[in-house]
Amino acid sequence: MVEMVDRPAEIVLYAGRLGASHEGVAVRRGETVQLAITRLLRTSYRCDVRAPSGSMTFTPEGYAHKLTMRPLEEAVVRHGIALVTVGEAARIARTVTA
């Protein structure tokens, strides 16, 4: 759903399907990123990613609650970034506690 590039000074989040055709949303140390997922249909969602550098909205398909946040959680901890989950994103199991 949300892909990530882990750089030395930041993480950059991309919509899985947008990939390299989208500049992504950069998140730096001390910032907060919000991941909000709203169910549209049984396996269709609207995903909103918001950070101080910008935002992106896309519509992935699948089961949000079956996803893992482990790679994203580990990266935000390493970079000192706060992660806020809203809606269906809050149902995704969290593996790292701050």
Q: From CA 8, how far away is CA 84, in angstroms rounded?
A: 22
Which domains, ranges and CATH numbers included, belong to the chain? 2-91 (2.30.29)
Residue listed under structure tokens 């593996």: 95
Per the CB < 8 A criterion, the answer to whether 18 and 5 are in contact is: no
Name the pTM for this structure. Answer: 0.84
pLDDT band at 97 (very low <50, low <70, confident <90, very high): low
Residue range 3-55, pLDDT digits in tens = 888 999 999 998 875 555 667 899 999 999 999 999 888 778 898 999 999 99
Which tens digits make up the pLDDT trace of 69-88?
Answer: 888 999 999 999 999 999 98
Max CA distance (Å), the chain: 38
